[in-house]
Amino acid sequence: MSTLPVIAAVDGSDDSLRALDWALDAARGRAAPLRVVHVQQPSVRTRPDEPGAVSSGPDEDQVLARARARVAEHPDRPAAEYLGLSGVSADLLPQLGSDAQLLVLGSRGRGGFVSLLLGSNGMAAAQDARCPVVVVPPPGREVHGEGPAEPGPRVVVGLHVDNPDETTLAFAIAEAELRAARLQVVAAYPWPLQSWAAPGELVPPTIDQDTVEDETRTLVEGIVGAHGKRHPDVRIDPYVAPGDAAGHLVAASRDAELVVVGRHRRRLLAPARLMGSVTRAVLLHAASPVAVVPPEELATPEE
C-alpha cells in the first residue's frame, strides 16, 4: 500500500509558502511524499462543466514553479509532485483530503483581506476535509495570557472531559512522538458553578473550586492513560484550569510546535459538518500552527 501524501496548498502568497515549508517538514518526518497543489480560477480553456480539471503543469504555472524552486532548496527533501487545478479553491481544497494524510495551507491567501485572520479557503478546508487540516499562521501573532513555564518542544491538545475525542487525542500524541515533544493536554472547567433556585435567584456552589479541579484532573489522567501506555516515550502534562477553553488553548499556543483541536461530529438534526466555537476561535487567534482533526466517521470514504 502506498503512503498517502502530505498536501500543501499554495497560491504564491507568503502565507502559503510558509505553509509549504511546514508541509515539507511534515512529509519528511512521516517519510511521506509531498504533493503541492495550486488551484486557479477556471480559464477560458476550461469548460464550466469541468470543475477540477488540470489547467497547467508546474512548468506553465508560475506559482507551482516558485514552489518547486523553494522545495529544491532543501537537500533532504521528500519525493514531490506538483498539480495545477482549475476551479473554486473553497470547493476543491476540502476534496483533496480524501487522498492525503495531511492538508496544509496558510491562514490567509491572496484573495483574503488583511484584516481577516483566516481566509475562506482555510475555513472551508478545516470544516470539510476528510483528513486533518493544518493552518499555518503568519509570524508574530500576539497572544495574551500566561505562556508555558517550561521551555522545549511542545504539542498542545484540547480535551473536553465530558465528551473526549479519542481521534484528536491519538493524533496529538502521535504528532508529539514524531517531534520528540511533550504533550500538553488542556482541559478547562466552568467556574464559578451556578444554579438557579428561582427566577433571578442564584444559589452558591455546594462544592469548592479545588474539588472541581481535582476531579477534572483525575478525569484527564484517566482519559489519556491508555494513550500514554501506547506511547511511553511521550511525556504527557495535563493542564487544568477554570474558564474558557479557547482562551487557554490560544495562550498555550505561544511557542508551541502545534495546537490540535477536534471538529464536531455530525448530529441528527444538524447533518452538515460543523466546527465548534472553540476550534474556530483557536484557528483565528493561535500563534502556532493549528491542526483540525475530523471525527472518526470521516476516516473512510462516504458511500
pLDDT digits over 188-239, tens only?
Answer: 998 776 555 556 555 565 678 888 899 999 999 999 988 889 999 999 999 9
With cut-offs at 50, 70 and 90, classify the pLDDT of residue 270.
very low
* Lowest-confidence pick of 71-85, 124-138, 182-196: 182-196
* pLDDT at position 199: 61
Q: Please name which of 240, 205, 236, 233 lies closest in space to residue 219, comparing C-alpha atoms.
A: 240
The b-or-e profile of 47-85 (16+ CB within 10 A means b, else e) is: eeeeebeebbebeebebbbbbeebbeeeeeebebebbbb
pLDDT surpassing 60 at residue 49: no
Report how far residue 96's alpha carbon sits from residue 81's, in angstroms, rounded to the nearest whole number.
14
pLDDT surpassing 60 at residue 3: yes
Name residue 57's amino acid: G
Domain residue extents for the chain: 6-136, 154-298
Give the pLDDT mean for 105-129: 64
Q: Do domains 6-136 and 154-298 have the same CATH topology?
A: yes
Please state which CATH number belongs to domain 154-298: 3.40.50.620
pTM: 0.84
Q: Which CATH architecture has domain 6-136?
A: 3-Layer(aba) Sandwich (3.40)
The string of pLDDT tens digits covering residues 53-66 is: 444 454 568 999 99
The string of pLDDT tens digits covering residues 271-303 is: 445 567 899 899 989 999 999 999 876 554 433
Highest-confidence segment of 14-18, 175-179, 196-200, 267-271: 175-179
Written as nine digits, the cell of 28 is 519528511
Give the pLDDT mean for 122-135: 88
